Structure 1
Amino acid sequence: MCGIAGIQLRDEKLIPQLGSLMHEMVDGIVVRGPDSAGVAIYGDRELLPEEYSSVSLLDAPGDTRQRVAERLSHDADVSVENMSDTTFIRAKMPSDQLVALVREIVPEASVIGAGDDSVIYKGVGNPMDLRETYRLSDVTGWQGVLHTRLATESAVSAAGAHPYSVNGLSVVHNGSFANHATIRRDLEEKGLTFDSENDTEVASRYISYRMQQLGEDLQTAVEALSEEFDGFYTLLVTTEDSFAVVRDQYACKPAIIAEHPDWVAMASEFQAIAHLPGMEDAEIFEPGPGKVYTWKR
C-alpha cells in the first residue's frame, strides 16, 4: 500500500502555488505510506534556471562537493546540496554532460534522476517531515509528483523510494509487477543497466526505452506496458511535457482523477486533492481498468 499524488498546471498564474498545493497533498496520502517519500518537480526556475540541469544521487560520499568543484569550471556555477538521503547537484550545462561527469567523479553513488527541467528528491522517514526537508511549500513549477511508500517487497531504503526517473521521465507506483524479473532480463539483453532491484525501476526503464529507442509517444509506451506487465497496480508517469495515469485490468488499486480548465490532478485518495482551487467545478472520475489517460502541456 503506497500513496500517489500529482498535478499538472494549465494556468500559468498557478505556477507560484505548485509547492503549496503539493504540500497539502501529502496530508492526504501519508496514511498510505509512512516509510519514505519522494517528489519530482518540473519547471521550478529557482531550483533549475534556464540553461541549467540537475542530477540527483543516493549514497554520495561526503566529499562530493569538493570533488565536483575541483572538476567543473567556475563558469558551470555548480551547487551541491543534501536533501535528506538525496544529494542534489545543479550546474550550467546540458543534463547528459552533467550526468556523465558526475558518474565519473563519484562512481560509487547512484544516479536517481537528472534533467533539464526536472528535480528529484527521495528519502527515508515520515513524509510529513520530509516535505519540510524538501522545502516543498516553496517550490514553483508547472507539474509535480508525490509518492509515500509502505515497503512490502523490499527493505525500507532511499533506493526503494519512488519516483524512479530516467531521462526526465518519472514513474510512481502503487502495487507490484509479477513478471518484472523477466522484463528486466529482456531489457538487460538490449543493453540497459539498472540501479536497484525494485520493480518500479523496470517500469520506468521500459517506458523510457520505448520512447527513446523506438520513438513512441508516452501514450503508446504506457499502453505497451499495460499489455506486457502483469500485476496489480496504479501508475503515474510524467515527462518534461506530459502526465499519464494507468491502472491494471482489474483496477483494484485506488485512484481518482480530477480535471479542471486550470489543472489536472490524480491521487490515491480524494482527500489529497480536495483542496485544489476550483474543485467544485472539476470533472471527477475514477480511471477505468486498463485504460491509459494522458495529458500534454
Structure 2
Amino acid sequence: MLAQMLGTMCDRGPDSAGFAVYGTPRSGLAKVTVQSPAPDEAFSGLAASVGGAVGTEVAIERRGSHAVLTVPADRLEAVRDHIRDQHGTVRVLGAGDAIEIYKEVGYPTEVAAVFGLANMAGTHAIGHTRMATESAVTTLGAHPFSTGPDQCLVHNGSLSNHNNLRRTLARDGIRFETENDSEVAAAYLTAQMGQGSSLGEALEKGLDDLDGFFTFVVGTKNGFGVLRDPIACKPAVLAETDRFVAFGSEYRALAALPGIETAKVWEPEPATVYFWER
C-alpha cells in the first residue's frame, strides 16, 4: 500500500524518497538501521565490531547501501556510540524495537524497488517523496528523520527559525547529520519528550516554538500523529476505514487504496494534534 502511494507522488518529490516501516518487536532485541556511501567496505566486519563492543553476537542484514543490525535492546545507546566513534563512514538512520528506515537519492519508485518496500510487512509505515528546497539532494537529507527510539518525522513545508533551534539543541548535546530543517523539528520533539512531555504535548508546544509553515507526520512504535501549522497552507487529507488510517498531502495518493470508496475522507484542522494507535 505504501509503495503504491509513493509511486503516485513521484512528480511531487522526484529528488529522493524514504520510508520507515514498523515491524513486530522481538523480546529483548532492538534494531539499528545504518547507511554508508561505501557499504561493501563499511559493513565488512561491522557486526563483529559492534558485537565485540557490546559483548554479544550481533546479526546484520544488508539492503543496498543500508543494513539493519539486531542488537540487545539494553545496549542500544552503546551500539550507537560505538558506530559513531569507530565507524566514521557509517551513519545511524534510526533505532528502536520496531523501526527500520530506508532512504536514498533517486526517483521514488526506484528507491522503493531497491529496498523491496512492496514485499515488506509491518503494523504501520511512513513514507516521503522530496523536492529539495532547504538543503542539498543527499541520502541523509531525505526523509524520514529519526532522532529518538522508534520515532521518525516527515515534513512538508519550511521552518524559518530552525538555525536558532539547532544551536540551542546542539548546546544540549543533540548531534545533527544534515542542514535540513526537518531534522531540527525531529530533534526538537525528541528533546521535549526527553523532558517528560508526551508526543501530543511536544507537538502542541511546537506550535509556539516552531516558526514557519509545516505539516508533520510523526511515527512512533504504536502509531502515528499529524499536525498542521495554524495557517495550514500545505494540503493534507486523511482517510479512515476499519482496516487502516492513511494520510497524504493529496487525495490522489489515497485514491487506489482498497475500500477508499467507503472511507471517511477528511482534511485535518489547523493547529490540531491527531494521533492513532494500534
- After TM superposition, the score normalised by the length of structure 2 is 0.90
| Amino acid of the structure 1 residue aligned with 2:6 | V
The equivalent residue for 1:190 is 172
User: 2:118 matched to 1:137?
Assistant: yes
2:118 is paired with a residue whose SS is helix
% identical equivalent positions = 37
The equivalent residue for 2:229 is 248
Shift of 1:217: 1.0
Cα distance between partner residues in 1 of 2:37 and 2:235:
33
User: 2:148 matched to 1:170?
Assistant: no
1:32 is paired with a residue whose SS is coil
Equivalent runs, 1:211-290 vs 2, <5 Å:
211-212=193-194, 214-290=195-271
Cα distance between partner residues in 2 of 1:37 and 1:230:
25
> Contact 2:134/2:181 (CA < 8 Å) preserved in 1?
no
Cα distance between partner residues in 1 of 2:229 and 2:206:
10
Residue deviations 1:143-169, cap 9 Å, x none?
101100001122111121000012221
> Contact 1:28/1:270 (CA < 8 Å) preserved in 2?
no
The one of 65, 69, 72 aligned to 1:93 = 72
Q: Per the alignment, do residues 80 and 261 of structure 1 end up closer, same or farther by CA in structure 2, a change over 3 Å counting? A: closer
Q: Per the alignment, do residues 275 and 61 of structure 1 end up closer, same or farther by CA in structure 2, a change over 3 Å counting? A: closer
Shift of 1:93: 1.8
The equivalent residue for 1:118 is 99
Shift of 1:82: 4.0
The equivalent residue for 2:10 is 30
> Contact 2:228/2:269 (CA < 8 Å) preserved in 1?
yes
The one of 104, 127, 130 aligned to 2:108 = 127
Residue deviations 1:71-116, cap 9 Å, x none?
2269624214143xx4223224223343233223313432221122
> Contact 1:172/1:200 (CA < 8 Å) preserved in 2?
yes
How many equivalent residue pairs? 271
Q: Per the alignment, do residues 188 and 22 of structure 1 end up closer, same or farther by CA in structure 2, a change over 3 Å counting? A: same
More off after superposition, 71-80 vs 139-148 = 71-80
| Amino acid of the structure 2 residue aligned with 1:54 | V
| Amino acid of the structure 1 residue aligned with 2:159 | F
Cα distance between partner residues in 2 of 1:259 and 1:231:
28
| Amino acid of the structure 2 residue aligned with 1:88 | A
- After TM superposition, the score normalised by the length of structure 1 is 0.85
The equivalent residue for 1:63 is 41
Cα distance between partner residues in 2 of 1:290 and 1:133:
37
The one of 132, 140, 143 aligned to 1:151 = 132
Residue deviations 1:17-51, cap 9 Å, x none?
xxxx11211122112100100000001x5xx7552
Shift of 1:60: 5.3
| Amino acid of the structure 2 residue aligned with 1:163 | P
The equivalent residue for 2:141 is 160
The equivalent residue for 1:10 is none
Cα distance between partner residues in 2 of 1:27 and 1:279:
17
User: 2:62 matched to 1:81?
Assistant: yes
| Amino acid of the structure 1 residue aligned with 2:66 | T
> Contact 1:58/1:158 (CA < 8 Å) preserved in 2?
no
1:243 is paired with a residue whose SS is strand
Where in structure 2 are there 5+ consecutive unaligned residues? Answer: none
> Contact 1:55/1:115 (CA < 8 Å) preserved in 2?
no
User: 2:11 matched to 1:39?
Assistant: no
Cα distance between partner residues in 2 of 1:184 and 1:102:
23
> Contact 1:176/1:231 (CA < 8 Å) preserved in 2?
yes
- The runs of at least 4 consecutive aligned structure 1 residues that moved more than 6 Å come to none
1:114 is paired with a residue whose SS is strand
Where in structure 1 are there 5+ consecutive unaligned residues? Answer: 1-20
